[in-house]
Structure 1
Amino acid sequence: MRYLHYSTDNDEFIINAFFFQDDLPHLKCFSLTCYNGTRGYDNLIVPLLRRMSHVEELALYLHIFRGSTFISGTDLDNEILIYMPQLHMFTFYIDSINQIADPAIRASAADIEQTFKNIKYGPVVCMVDSFDSYCVRYRVFSLPTKFHRLEDIKNNIPNIVFNSVTHLKLRDTNAFKHEFFIRLARAFPFLKSLSISNIHRPFWRCDERHLRDKDWCSIIEYSHLIFLDVEGVNSYYLEHFLNETKAHLPSLTQLKVIYEVLKTVTENFTRDDMRRNCGRVKRLIVDYPIVYPENVYRYFPLL
């Protein structure tokens, strides 16, 4: 066995398929993708990787829970990479959720990126998000990106281009403004699936009202977006994406939405400025079974 890729949503495969085996001297390329969170990084994943002494290419995509300790470049080097003397290509995305004892003492993105300076496999970017005062999410990944999926992204996307990412989920308690979606379209030019969870509409202070009007001067295009999930959002976001004066969705064929919100935003399926973005939708996913009235089929002619 020279090449192995495994994608999993739990830890069982590590125990059943690998944990009781000997070293893996013939394995040259290994890729592990774990979409759901795991607590088995230290006691399952690290011991498994240490047995791959002849691996030359390694790719990791991991979501982990690791108590109070985040994954640093020093950790990766000392716990894994030092056991792989023949490794020459290492790409990774590691998303760790950590509990911290003192909110006043937490590592910044720059602090974590600094720990990767001695790793020879290319530049590394870190994103830091806070859920509350005692829970922090650290994401570290190599560039250029190789992964296709990102979840629970907040307003603070870094100023880089994620050419490989096609599936994205946004979630924040702070509102997403039009300026954010402009940056989003630039950062994820090949996005095919977008899910948004945000119940807050943007708020502008009195001295920011001119920004609200200025925002709508630019139409955002999501050229490759096929699937849009706006079921868990304030109606503002549905308006933002369906209104052709704000967004252009030439490839949209699937829309997931609350039916009554859709009915309200489209003014009972009569608004002309939304027909263009709705006209190519072939699948409408709503929150309860319904026999659509005739005006829905006129508004979505490809259903």
Structure 2
Amino acid sequence: MGEFLRMRRSQLQLADVGLRDFGERRRVPGLRRDELAQLAGVGLSYYTRLEQGLSLNASAEVLDALARALDLDEVERAHLHDLARASRRTGTRRRPAPERAGETTKQLLAAFGDAPAIVLGRRSDVLAWTRTGHALFAGHLDPHIPDQPDQRPNTARLVFLDAHTRDLYVEDWPKKARDVVGKLRLAAGQHPDDPRLAALIGELTMKSPEFASMWSEHRVRKWDLATYRMHHPVVGRMQLNLQTLNVPQEEGQRIVVVTAEAGTGSAAALRLLAQAGTSSGAGSARQAARTARRP
């Protein structure tokens, strides 16, 4: 929580919070502790202890006051409360149970038919996918790999460490990367005792300087709808909408469904991609894509 408060304080300027800048030389970026404490209506010594991790009993009212002073949005405010709860926990902590896609979730996934769709867990592990979801996001991987808990692909690992995925989001990779990091930040606040999540974050920090830089910004994001430009090796360029549906009774699980605007080349490309479930289908899809792009 202290790191989050320090980082968000450093990202605010005086003008952002309605304070006058008298041109004085400032020793720290952003707001000083005393300025933020005054804006939140809390004592400077108390706020300093919060940043230093020496006080773990901040009330909901104090946290909300800090959120207002820092100009946090609703997702960021909830994240601050999650961090405070995590810092107050004592004693033996129960580790999250292993994740799997339940039978009703798989039935719902099957109902999407040829539409690209994937089930993601709290760490953004792929728990299941439709045939076209596999072809879109990870056609270079074994389609049955989500059934192997120790081998499951992870969307954060794919985005930062997999060349195929970087090429897939080639035009919007920075946007996708920040969305992934923001979602992991939320998950870390909600599941502070998950050793696999901690290991994933550690791995990405060590292997990807880009991830390490974005992670240090303490930005959180919870997106329900995002649009990305993609370039698929089989069907070419597309502009696709990714919509998130929370899975009932499965905390942290979500289904991501991909659509395209009707009547566009992107919609036609998705239909072609649905043919790529077999080697012959992939060849047919490539030929159809070449034909469709001819003048």
TM-score of the two chains, using structure 1 as the length reference: 0.23
Instruction: Report which of the two has the higher share of strand.
Output: 1
**Bigger relative contact order (CA 8 A; separation at least 6):** 2
Instruction: Report which of the two has the higher share of helix.
Output: 2
TM-score of the two chains, using structure 2 as the length reference: 0.23
